[in-house]
């Protein structure tokens, strides 16, 4: 994707907070989300520490868009707008950029303060698929559970491995997470039913599908990125002890279906253009890819989005202690791109719909400081982490708040943030 005037790092907005150093939402970003207004949902665009109310802007005549886009952006979710496709997405981005640019007429009455606004899920998510696309994560898990064998399963280097998740339990950031109960298997006893003891987070990113494909048709690798609307932060909460007992032979089930949190703002693929590059890279001894998974020449399928994970216990929050940074990661550590995931997902003719969500799987790098979950950071509980309140963590405890922040930055481009994704662990109910 080529850069255009909306990416100009010198561009400023009449919304002063958007021009602040370190802002997640400068005018070069313009992510879409859904916020509550008078008991209903409205689509907005984040700008600085405010939200541009698109419904109000369109209804007042201040923001002039094409009829299809105006109708789609007056809806209660982003699904219709996501389905319009890249040309409409670009036209709307250009129009909003011009509307908010310094020198254009200011419309303060169309702004809503973020700190006084409740966010909703950005789309009605019909289906959710989670992948397993970071080589370091797959290798670490393989070494833990198959210490005498090859860490990577034979298929891992040939195709993006994934599973169908549960869309009904995808929640927006800030939603409390109830500790799940399930069937657990002690090492030397029969299974029991009780609260999960090994609750974990997973640092991930999610990509929203934009334009749909019909059942029986495929999305080619050359077109895949153009059919993805944008990215969010994703935390795929995991019950490791439930997972250990249930996952053979068909993979994750109840260990993954109780909650997955996403950040509320969808940063578009166009906004991420300055941070896209060819890739992902493969190692010299990796097997060749089948043609349908080979990135097109000059494609920009790899995205360098940085993330940081923080943990704060209930006592830390009560004492005003700053959250503890657990790890850092980058989306560029993936060995399979979202384009390859989408191309593979539809290679059988599987229909994808606007608003479907694709998860990256845990994003982990080769260093311990870049491991994306407690399972890896604490190496199955053998290397506990000490918190500032004097307690240790092998896995998450009730009252813990887990927060992931993500952003892109480099010389010559405006910093673009994805905001944050957080949740507080609440005790099990049974």
Q: Are 33 and 73 in contact (CB under 8 A)?
A: no
DSSP assignment of 81-114 equals HHTT-HHHHHHHHHHHHHHHBBTBPP-GGGEEEG
Q: Which residues pair with 178 in a beta bridge?
A: 426
The SS3 assignment for 182 reads strand
Q: Is 344 a catalytic residue?
A: no
CA distances from 347 to 178, 213, 293, 343 (A): 36, 11, 10, 6
CB within 8 A of 119, min separation 6: which ones? 33, 34, 35, 36, 172, 173, 174, 264
Q: Are 56 and 111 in contact (CB under 8 A)?
A: no
Catalytic residue among 7, 50, 137, 345: 137
Quick one: which of 315, 280, 304, 333 has its CA closest to 390? 315
CB within 8 A of 222, min separation 6: which ones? 296, 299
Question: What positions carry a catalytic annotation?
Answer: 137
């Amino acid at each position: 994707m080529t850069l255009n005037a909306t990416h100009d790092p010198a561009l400023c907005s009449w919304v002063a907070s958007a021009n602040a150093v370190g802002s997640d939402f400068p005018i070069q970003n313009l992510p879409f989300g859904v916020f509550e207004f008078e008991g209903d949902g409205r689509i907005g665009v984040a700008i600085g520490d405010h939200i541009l109310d698109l419904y109000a802007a369109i209804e007042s005549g201040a923001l002039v868009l094409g009829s299809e886009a105006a109708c789609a952006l007056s809806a209660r979710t982003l699904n219709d707008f996501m389905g319009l496709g890249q040309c409409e997405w670009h036209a709307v981005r250009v129009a909003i950029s011009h509307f908010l640019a310094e020198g254009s007429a200011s419309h303060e009455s169309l702004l809503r303060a973020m700190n006084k606004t409740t966010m909703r899920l950005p789309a009605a998510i019909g289906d959710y698929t989670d992948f397993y696309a970071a080589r370091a994560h797959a290798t670490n898990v393989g070494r833990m559970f198959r210490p005498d064998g090859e860490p990577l399963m034979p298929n891992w280097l040939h195709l993006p491995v994934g599973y169908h998740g549960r869309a009904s339990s995808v929640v927006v950031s800030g939603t409390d997470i109830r500790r799940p109960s399930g069937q657990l298997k002690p090492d030397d006893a029969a299974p029991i039913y009780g609260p999960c003891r090994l609750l974990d987070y997973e640092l991930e990113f999610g990509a929203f599908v934009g334009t749909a494909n019909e059942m029986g048709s495929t999305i080619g690798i050359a077109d895949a990125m153009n059919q993805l609307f944008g990215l969010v932060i994703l935390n795929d909460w995991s019950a490791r002890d439930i997972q250990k007992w249930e996952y053979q032979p068909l993979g994750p089930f109840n260990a993954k279906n109780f909650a997955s949190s996403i950040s509320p703002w969808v940063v578009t693929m166009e906004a991420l253009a300055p941070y896209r590059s060819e890739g992902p890279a493969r190692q010299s001894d990796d097997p060749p890819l089948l043609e349908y998974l080979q990135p097109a020449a000059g494609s920009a399928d790899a995205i360098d989005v940085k993330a940081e994970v923080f943990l704060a216990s209930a006592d830390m929050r009560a004492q005003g202690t700053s959250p503890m940074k657990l790890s850092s990661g980058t989306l560029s550590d993936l060995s399979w791109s979202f384009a390859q995931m989408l191309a593979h997902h539809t290679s059988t003719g599987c229909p994808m719909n606007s608003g479907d969500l694709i998860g990256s799987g845990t994003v982990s790098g080769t260093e311990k400081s870049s491991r994306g979950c407690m399972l890896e950071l604490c190496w199955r509980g053998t290397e506990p982490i000490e918190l500032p309140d004097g307690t240790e963590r092998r896995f998450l405890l009730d009252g813990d708040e887990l927060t992931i922040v993500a952003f892109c930055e480099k010389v010559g481009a405006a910093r673009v943030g994805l905001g944050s994704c957080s949740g507080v662990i609440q005790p099990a109910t049974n």
